[in-house]
Amino acid sequence: MSLKSLVTIDVGSTQTRALLFARVEDRFRFVAAASAPTHLRAAHPDVALGGIQALEHLSAISGRLLLDPQGILIVPELSNGAGVDACLVTLSAAPLVRVVLGGLSPEWSLASLQRAVASTYAQVVDVLSVAPQDGRRQSEEEWLQALATAEPHLVVIAGGIDGGATRPVQALLETAALAARLRPEGERPRIIFAGNAVLREEAVALAGRELPLRVLQNVRPRVDVEHIGPVVEAIDQRYVERAMASLPGLSLLRSWAQKDVLPTARALSHVARYLSLETPDRGTLVVDVGGNHTVLTVAHGGLLAQVVRSESGIGQGILSLYQRREYERIARWLPHEVPPEALEVFVWTKAMHPLSIPQTLEEMWIELAFAREALAEAWEQLLALWPELGRLPRAFEPILLTGGAFSSHARPGALALVALDALQPVGITTLLWDPVGLTPGLGALVDVDALRMVEVVHSRPWIPLATILAPALDGPVGLDESLFTVEVHHRGPDGSESVYEIEARGGRLEVVPIPGIGETELRRFRMRRPVDLGWGPRRAPRRIRIAGGLLGLVVDGRGRPLRLAEAEEARREQIQRWLWDIGALGSGL
């Protein structure tokens, strides 16, 4: 059946968003979005209530009746246009899955498992390693004690290439099985074996009928081959299973859905992977900063790298983020002095009232400073887990910004600056902005009707925020030092042409408005310094077509890596100058 209409419900830790997609003029499109509090922190938590309220708001916005008098979603769509043909649910509000990892080597099997866990809503509570740790080897008794203390929901064991070592991995399996049997039947962890294929039958025999065991493809069948996808999927399934058991109201939302609940991070990875098909040589970066999670997803060629950083966001996750990053790292992004006491008051208030929005410019700058540090921390973890990304230029196309931190209450220039400061892209890239949080719903659509998802993506439902031109420099530059000039050629739909020259200056951001209609090209680059725009020092194509965006063209002449002044007053002046350059300063919100 070809879908005529679809509702997606994204249950976040702070907000629940409902999105309507429908066929409009023979094309499947994003139509409207609405949100409501998730109701997890209420006296009587009920995530279904947040979903119902979001759908009620969506009905009012779209003019389409979605709920019957009993508050049940109308499925399928009726002949009078009420209801929808399908519903999908994405989720990031559930408690994390506690995972213990077991493997032979920190450099191989355990590294693969760490990458798998980092891509999910889970936390590693302990690691059992056959290889010596800190100069000594763990005993099987220590493994058993670690499993008893950690009380994991999931034990994931890998190790040994196919046909390789068996005895050390067998010892890990035996210990995990014994630890599980020592737990009460209803509290036993699930065991996943993703190691040497030779041991699959033995793993099944060790588990017997009383232990929940799942055997998966070896994460490292060869030293140079990695398969973490099945482990990621298994952790996702455990996350959803526990969510169904622990989140009141989720079962009602699931009863409306055509497919199983999908973790939000997985939906984001679907979008990143599809967008990367359009630019396989450059890859795509999808950024989501929410109330309690920050998710970075890179899709580049055949590589999919993702980090789900929990207790990191601008809602209830802000307190843990502050404790990790501390005052100095947050304050370095503020244009005015904010004493530690005042910053701590903001943090505690935001953690207790995550739905609150900034009421003053100072509060907005503080919230966006936390968004920068959430992104910076997640990027550091991404590079630590996938070091090969550090050898690639940060020349993604596009960079998609979504999540609560990029909601529509902040100024577009300020949001663009958050991405530029924290991610520091190089060369030419497009910033896409998702102020209503439609990206998870769009990713969920892949599992139901991939062609409809393609239709929506091709309609470009996100707002083009800016085209970024950010050169890499060979060293420090002076403030206002000339870096290069370039001509901007615009041809209007009526054939009229305009040409003007802009100059990139050291330590500054230049914003050039680009008309939303017609065609715009960059021509005749004249290098004043050996800057690298992605084609090598002092090199650039003769013509580059750009799309512009809400801000237009933003030329970032601050260099890479970004250098902040060491003196506090000079650094604040620097931040003020950048905010002014990008049009984020003014008299009010």
DSSP string, 417-443: HHHHHHH---EEEEEEE-TT--HHHHH
pLDDT digits (tens, 9 = 90+) for 252-262: 999 999 999 99
Q: Tell me the backbone φ, ψ of residue 426, rounded to 5 degrees.
A: -125, 145
**What strand order describes the sheet that includes 293-300?**
303-310, 293-300, 284-289, 399-402, 427-433, 463-470, 553-556, 509-512
Question: Could you tell me what percent of the chain has a pLDDT over 90?
Answer: 72
Closest CA to 115 of 295, 305, 318, 249: 305
- Lowest mean pLDDT, pick from 47-56, 193-202, 406-415: 406-415
Average pLDDT of the residues in 269-293: 93
Q: Helices marked H in 63-182 — which ranges?
A: 109-118, 140-150, 167-181
Pinpoint the alpha helices (H) of 478-585. 568-581
Distances (CA, A) of 287 to 176, 259, 434, 439: 36, 25, 10, 10
Q: How confident is the model at residue 586 (pLDDT cuts 50, 70, 90)?
A: low
Q: What is the pLDDT of residue 87?
A: 96
Query: What pLDDT, on a 0 to 100 scale, did the predictor assign at position 589?
Result: 57
* Amino acid residing at 426: V
CB 462 within 8 A of CB 549: no
Reported pTM: 0.94
Mean pLDDT score of the chain, rounded to an integer? 92
Residue 417 has pLDDT above 90, yes or no: yes
Beta strand spans in 55-105 (E): 86-91, 97-103
**3-state SS class at 42:** coil
Is residue 267 a contact partner of residue 79, using CB atoms and an 8 Å limit?
no
Whole-angstrom Cα distance, residue 514 to residue 198?
A: 61
Would you put residue 269 in left (φ > 0), alpha (ψ -120 to 50) or beta? Answer: alpha
Task: pLDDT band for 136, please (50, 70, 90 cuts).
Answer: confident
Q: What are phi and psi of 128, to 5 degrees?
A: -105, 120
The pLDDT value recorded for residue 400 is 97
Burial of 324 (0-12, 13-18, 19+ CB in 10 A): middle
CA of residue 24 relative to chain centroid, distance: 29
Looking at residue 495, its pLDDT comes to 86
State residue 458's pLDDT score: 87
Task: Give the H/E segment covering residue 205.
Answer: helix 200-207
Backbone dihedral region for residue 104 (phi beyond 0: left; psi -120 to 50: alpha; all else: beta): alpha
Tens-place pLDDT, residues 304-339: 999 999 999 999 999 999 999 999 999 999 999 999
CA distance 18 to 362: 31
